[in-house]
């Protein structure tokens, strides 16, 4: 089954429902099969990931409490614009991407208009962004494929998204979750770091981390949890100096002494 936000898992929290103490209990994790599909895993496969007691539920409850407004900072009106903004966001701040796309999307709002450009033309509009030459090629090639193969629309399936130039698994998950509301866990540097420190994953790379987080967090919470982990990474659990002494999650975090190490 492809990630499908319309089919809730029995016993899972409802979308946006704030977990209370004792509510989170995983009944089956999901594993990426390499084709954008997920399968249920048995309890033994994920036992090593479970933090002690019910700390996953408490972690989610605290994150929900402290970051109730967490959402993507990228500005967009359509799935296509989110896809372009996400491609541009690699090694570039969301603020800078928003500055670039504010003008870009006024002139070229969709795949049809961007597909007509040559890379050198688009470079002039996105050169405030790192890797702009490569991104220009990716965006135009992707736009042309969307026009030719999908009538200008962005597909809502992982295996189709990752076939597009410049679109990796993280970008595809961002689009699935934010443009289509399909449960997905995009693993960026913040999600990777914070989830490891909180004991939600031990993954050495984003793909493994995605699988592990999705095993311990209910599917209905993946989209929100992604935003919460990013917000916490940006505001408190910084890469170099995590603010453990003021962290609201210190009571349930196995890395809470990190700041003093
Ligand atoms: S206690 Fe420290 S390491 Fe743990 S989540 Fe908070 S800031 Fe990060």
Q: What is the DSSP string of 142-195?
A: HHHHHHHHHTTPPP-SHHHHTTSTT--HHHHHHHHHHHH--------HHHHHHH
Note the pLDDT of residue 51: 54
Is residue 243 lining ligand 1, measured as CB closer than 6 Å?
A: yes
170 is catalytic: yes
Distance from the CA of 253 to the center of ligand 1, in angstroms?
Answer: 6
242 CB less than 6 Å from ligand 1?
yes
pLDDT at residue 259, rounded to an integer: 60
Query: Does residue 236 line the site of ligand 1, with CB under 6 A?
Result: yes
Q: Exactly one of 110, 135, 156, 170 is catalytic; which is it?
A: 170
- The token duo for 260 is 């003093």
Count of CB atoms situated within 10 Å of the CB of 128:
12
Distance in Å, CA 161 to ligand 1 centroid = 34
Residue 40 Cβ inside 6 Å of ligand 1? The answer reads no
Residue 171 CA to ligand 1 center (angstroms) comes to: 26
We find that the CATH architecture of domain 1-261 is Orthogonal Bundle (1.10)
Asked if residues 141 and 117 have their Cβ atoms less than 8 Å apart, the reply is no
The per-residue pLDDT string of the chain (261 residues; one tens digit each, 9 = 90 and over) reads: 222 232 222 233 343 444 443 333 333 333 333 333 333 333 333 333 445 457 899 999 999 999 999 999 999 999 999 999 999 999 899 999 999 999 999 999 999 999 999 999 999 999 999 999 999 999 999 999 999 999 999 999 999 999 999 999 999 999 999 999 999 999 999 999 999 999 999 988 999 999 999 999 999 999 999 999 999 999 999 999 999 999 999 999 999 876 654
Which of 56, 236, 241, 246 has most ligand 1 atoms within 8 Å of its beta carbon, as the pocket-test mutant? 236
Q: 188 an active-site residue?
A: yes
Residue 19 CA to ligand 1 centre (angstroms): 20
32's enclosing H/E stretch is strand 29-32
Beta bridge mates, 257: none
CB 55 near ligand 1, within 6 Å? no
Separation CA 61–CA 198 (nearest Å): 14
Q: What are phi and psi of 158, to 5 degrees?
A: -55, -50
Residue nearest to atom 2 of ligand 1 (CA): 244
Task: Tell me, yes or no, if the pTM score tops 0.95.
Answer: no
Ligand 1 center from residue 66 Cα (angstroms): 14
Which ligand 1 atom is nearest residue 259's CA? 2
Determine the pLDDT at residue 13: 35
User: Which residue is catalytic, options 4, 32, 188, 207?
Assistant: 188
């Amino acid at each position: 089954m492809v990630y499908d936000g319309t089919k809730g898992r029995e016993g899972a929290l409802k979308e946006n429902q704030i977990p209370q103490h004792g509510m989170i209990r995983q009944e089956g994790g999901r594993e990426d099969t390499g084709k954008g599909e997920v399968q249920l895993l048995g309890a033994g496969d994920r036992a090593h990931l479970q933090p002690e007691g019910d700390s996953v539920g408490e972690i989610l409850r605290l994150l929900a409490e402290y970051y109730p407004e967490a959402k993507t900072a990228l500005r967009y009106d359509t799935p296509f614009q989110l896809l372009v903004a996400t491609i541009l966001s690699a090694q570039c701040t969301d603020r800078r991407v928003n500055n670039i796309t504010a003008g870009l999307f006024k002139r070229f709002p969709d795949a049809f208009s961007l597909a007509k450009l040559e890379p050198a033309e688009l470079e002039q509009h996105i050169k405030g962004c790192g890797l702009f030459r490569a991104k220009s090629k990716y965006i135009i090639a992707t736009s042309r494929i969307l026009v030719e193969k999908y009538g200008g629309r962005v597909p809502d399936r992982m295996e189709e998204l990752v076939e597009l130039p410049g679109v990796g698994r993280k970008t595809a998950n961002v689009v699935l979750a934010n443009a289509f509301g399909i449960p997905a866990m995009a693993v960026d540097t913040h999600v990777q770091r914070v989830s490891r420190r909180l004991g939600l994953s031990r993954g050495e790379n984003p793909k493994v981390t995605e699988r592990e987080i999705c095993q311990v967090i209910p599917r209905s919470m993946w989209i929100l949890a992604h935003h919460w982990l990013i917000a916490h990474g940006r505001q408190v659990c910084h890469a170099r100096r995590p603010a453990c002494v003021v962290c609201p999650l210190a009571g349930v975090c196995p890395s809470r002494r990190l700041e003093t190490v």
